[in-house]
Amino acid sequence: MSFPFKVLWFLAAAHLLLGLLAVLLGIADVVTHVQADPGGGFEVSLLAAPIWCGIPFVVAGGLGLAVSPYKPNVQEQTRQHWICCMINSVLFGPVMFIVAMVDLFLEVQTSSILDRDISFEIGFIIISVLEIWCALGSVTIYCMYKAPRQVKEPKEGEFRLSPFSLVARHCTVCSAYCNRRRYPGKNSWVTDDDTEVVITSSGAGHHGNESGVQPIPEDASPEEKELFLVARRLEEENVRLQKQLKVNVLKEKVKKLQQNNRALSHKLNKVHDGDSASVMIKEEEIRMKLKEAQTSKDVNEIKKAITEFQDAKLEDFSEDLPAAQKQLKVLELKAALDKAISNRQLSKIGTVLAEIKKRGLQDIMANEVARANKMLILIKQMDKLRQEVLNIKQSTIAEIRSYKNASEPVHKVMTATFLLLGENEKDIKEWSALKTLVGKSGKDGLKQRVEHCDVAKIPVAMATKVQEMLVPFRLEEVRDHSAGAAAFFLWANGMADEVLEGAAQEATA
């Protein structure tokens, strides 16, 4: 929250008014008593107390009204005003109250009932009480709010507090907490918002952490404070990662330099031992082939490069051999996975995926692993649909065959089914031809043919045609006409989807 200048100015005006009243009433009281009793020296001195107590009230009011956020010395002004208000609240206000009470007591003791005039005493008591409250109110403002500063754009990460405001903010409740978190050997501590507070000769400065995130403003809402903390943590994590990245880059450079140094030392030793230039050139060719094999897609080329390097019994300075062997294994696993997916071999796909995980190649083969997992789901779904067809009772199939003229949904579903099983479209246009195929038994029976249907042998064009043929119908519509045809509807749709998905994956592989 912003500093309440208007409240401070109101209290300062009250200070000024009460001070002037105290001085004027004090002068009037002294004059009255001197005229009535010229020899009452002690009583006159006592009655003069409101005058010299009212002067600090006037000073405090003037200092408070002079405080302005547009003045460069606003911190010095607030410091002086705070000190004056503190003195008024603990010294001059209570002194004036005590003097007025003593004067009232003496007036009551020495005067008769008719001669008593206690209006001045009552006025001084009221003024002193109001003055104490105004002084305490001004002090409380400085305890509750950050000390004001000149209105201008602050430097990034800088929040200045005057020393008395810092003491007021961390008095009683927070002093023990701050002392526990004080930095050893430093004139600073960490506040409850994790911001370092450094006391300086000109005030106290909030200095943010090294990440450059600004300190949390005191007037921020809980949501804003949470966002500030999240931003600070992210910035610190970013700094940490950048430092770690620099370390890793330096380590890689050092490793590369060490490898080059070993290679140069090896070549110098070869020259020193008197090896011929042809031998050294041959060795360098073998090393270059092994290095190129790390990015090659030709399995035979990689195998040949590895074999030549191992047969030559060369020292692997740059760790090219493990990299080439890794590339070879990736290509072999990729080929095995492609073959298993093409053949819809569920167990083989699982075996290859397990091998990829075992060797820690999931990141390198992320696309292949995702494709295989998607195909696993399709194959499992098809196995389930195939099993549902196999569980159809023979009486249900007989019911389909018994239709004299099948409805359009049933006719289309059975046509799509036999197209996937390899029948020629022109041979099954009529329902009578379909009835004949449905009625066959043995190895030519419908359920047997579905069980042994090989999805790899189904052309993509046929799968597309089947999908287009079945698009106009919904499962509920087909089931209303025939429960048996509904099972074939699901199976035909699933087979077409699997064929098209496999073709799409092969195209992007």
Per residue, what are the HEC states of 371-394? HHHHHHHHHHHHHHHHHHHHCCCH
Residue 405's CB: how many other CB atoms inside 10 A? 8
Q: Which residues contact 95 (CB under 8 A, 6 or more apart)?
A: 49, 53
What's the rounded mean pLDDT across residues 72-92? 77
Most confident by average pLDDT, 59-73, 217-231, 243-257, 446-460:
446-460
246: its two tokens: 């620099």
473: its two tokens: 């119908």
Residue 53's CB: how many other CB atoms inside 10 A? 27
Q: How confident is the model at residue 110 (pLDDT cuts 50, 70, 90)?
A: low
Q: Which residues contact 17 (CB under 8 A, 6 or more apart)?
A: 61
What's the rounded mean pLDDT across residues 255-278? 65
Alpha-carbon distance of 117 to 335, in angstroms, equals 115
What's the rounded mean pLDDT across residues 324-337? 88
Task: Name residue, tokens 């503190």.
Answer: 86
What's the DSSP call for residue 182?
A: B
* Predicted pLDDT at 93: 82
Residue 203 has pLDDT above 70, yes or no: no
* Predicted pLDDT at 414: 93
* Predicted pLDDT at 6: 80
User: Whole-prediction pTM value?
Assistant: 0.42
Q: What stretches of 212-345 show up as alpha helix (H) in DSSP? A: 222-273, 277-293, 299-312, 320-342
Residue 52 has pLDDT above 80, yes or no: no
Q: 391-508 — its CATH code?
A: 1.20.920.60
Residue 188 pairs with which residues in a beta bridge?
198
Burial per residue of 447-485, b for 16 or more beta-carbon CB atoms within 10 angstroms, e otherwise = eebbeebebeebeeebbebbbebbeebeeeebbebbebb
Q: Which residues contact 19 (CB under 8 A, 6 or more apart)?
A: 54, 55, 56, 57, 58, 59, 60, 61, 131
Q: How confident is the model at residue 191 (pLDDT cuts 50, 70, 90)?
A: very low
* Predicted pLDDT at 280: 67
What's the rounded mean pLDDT across residues 95-119? 70
Residue 34 has pLDDT above 80, yes or no: no
Alpha-carbon distance of 22 to 289, in angstroms, equals 104
Residue 131's CB: how many other CB atoms inside 10 A? 29
Residue bearing the bigger pLDDT, 199 or 86: 86
Residue 217 CB-density burial (10 A; 0-12 exposed, 13-18 middle, 19+ buried) = middle
Q: How confident is the model at residue 74 (pLDDT cuts 50, 70, 90)?
A: low
Which segment of 64-68, 106-110, 491-495 scores lowest on mean pLDDT?
A: 106-110
Question: What is the SS3 assignment for 365?
Answer: coil
Burial per residue of 310-341, b for 16 or more beta-carbon CB atoms within 10 angstroms, e otherwise = eeeebebbeebbebbbebbbbeebbebbbebb
What's the rounded mean pLDDT across residues 218-236? 75
Q: Which residues contact 380 (CB under 8 A, 6 or more apart)?
A: 346
Residue 380 has pLDDT above 70, yes or no: yes
Residue 164 has pLDDT above 80, yes or no: no
Alpha-carbon distance of 159 to 197, in angstroms, equals 9
* Predicted pLDDT at 2: 64
Residue 322 has pLDDT above 90, yes or no: no
* Predicted pLDDT at 441: 84
Residue bearing the bigger pLDDT, 52 or 347: 347
Q: How confident is the model at residue 466 (pLDDT cuts 50, 70, 90)?
A: very high
Phi, psi (rounded to 5 degrees) for 161: -125, 140
pLDDT tens across 384-443, in order? 888 888 888 888 888 888 888 889 999 999 999 999 999 998 888 899 999 899 888 888
Element (H, E) at 196: strand 196-200
Mean per-residue pLDDT of the chain? 75
* Predicted pLDDT at 412: 93
